[in-house]
Amino acid sequence: MVNKVEICGVNTAKLPVLTSSEMQELFLAIIAGDQTAREKLIKGNLRLVLSVIQRFTNRGEFVDDLFQVGCIGLIKAIDNFDLGQNVKFSTYAVPMIIGEIRRYLRDNNPIRVSRSLRDTAYKAIQVREALINKNSREPSLNEIAKELSIPGEDVVFAMDAIQEPVSLFEPIYHDGGDPIYVMDQIGDEKNHDLNWLEKISIREALCKLNNREKLILTLRFFEGKTQMEVAEEIGISQAQVSRLEKAALNHMRKFI
């Protein structure tokens, strides 16, 4: 459905593309009160909406619905864009379109969040935006909580409740080459190169031990048995297991 030509009755193959100078002229015309200029700006940026909704096509939503919601975000961006900020319109509009789509997905999420939590979260978002406009900086959690007269923990809980799950395979950047996915930005503390090399070193060091030492360490550290259980299994005392285990570990350290 993503690749179909017509979405919401719009032939996406024939969508116009505006140059920077044309965009500038249309925004100036809107300021002067020309409503037809607003319509031209909307039509001239529908390709932007189309590119944004590609990120959300794996959610099982109809592309037509996403496109309509994205257009609402586009219209809001056009109505609120400030030419004096010296920012490209697309840079300003894309987060607005994404935000509108995410709100739509949150409200239609089958995992229901209580009305009170949603209301708290939306109030926190409004307060955050108001504080940014007032102070020209990102407000702290305590500042938002103070404005709402609620504990900071309640703000965190409400905001977490409305966050939608994101696929690890959702693309977050694409420059014409291979896309960068969410999973590419997540660190893995368990499987980095040092751990991988350490496992190889341990395996090689184990090969230097005799069969009894290998068996004791395998039972102790790979099968999780106690020294007493190991002693019963191989028919020696617990004290002997302890002594052999220490000797084997000391022997291995020489090779790691």
Question: Could you tell me the domains of the chain?
Answer: 1-109 (1.20.120.1810), 193-253 (1.10.10.10)
CA torsion angle for 112, 116, 118, 121 (degrees, to 10)?
Answer: -150
List of residues 6+ apart from 5 with CB closer than 8 A: 11, 12, 13
Query: With bands split at pLDDT 50, 70 and 90, how would you rate the model's confidence at 33?
Result: confident
- Which token pair is 42? 């909307």
Of residues 240 and 4, more confidence is placed in 240
Q: What is the pLDDT of residues 37-92, one digit of tens each?
A: 888 888 888 888 888 888 877 666 778 888 889 899 999 998 888 888 778 888 88
Residue 185, CB half-sphere, CA atoms under 13 Å: how many? Answer: 12
CA within 13 Å, CB half, 122: 12
The per-residue pLDDT for 111 is 56
CA dihedral of 59, 65, 67, 72, whole degrees rounded to 10: -120
Alpha-carbon distance of 101 to 230, in angstroms, equals 60
**pLDDT tier at 146 (50, 70, 90 boundaries)?**
very high
Residue 210: burial class (beta carbons within 10 Å; 0-12, 13-18, 19+): exposed
DSSP 237: -
Helix (H, G, I), strand (E, B) or coil at 81: coil
Token pair 């409740």 is found at 161
Contact 224/216 with Cβ under 8 angstroms?
no
Q: Are 179 and 171 in contact (CB under 8 A)?
A: yes
**Residue with more model confidence, 235 or 176:** 235
Alpha carbon distance 39, 37 (integer Å): 5
Q: How confident is the model at residue 122 (pLDDT cuts 50, 70, 90)?
A: confident
Which SS3 state, helix, strand or coil, does residue 181 take?
strand
Euclidean distance between CA atoms 37 and 15, whole angstroms = 16
Is pLDDT above 60 for 145?
yes
Residues 90 and 78 sit within 8 Å (Cβ to Cβ):
no
- Which tokens go with 65? 């619905």
On whether the CB atoms of residues 242 and 227 are closer than 8 A, the answer is: yes
Looking at residues 203-224, what average pLDDT do you find?
Answer: 86
Averaged confidence pLDDT in the chain: 80
Q: What is the residue whose two structure tokens read 């190991």?
A: 230
Lowest mean pLDDT, pick from 28-37, 81-90, 113-122, 202-211:
113-122
Give me 182's structure tokens: 């969410």
Q: Residue 212 above 80 pLDDT? A: yes
Tell whether the model's pLDDT for residue 8 goes beyond 70: no
Q: In whole angstroms, what is the distance from residue 75 CA to residue 27 CA? A: 13
Residue 114: band (very low, low, confident or very high) from pLDDT cuts 50, 70, 90: low
> Which amino acid makes up residue 136?
S
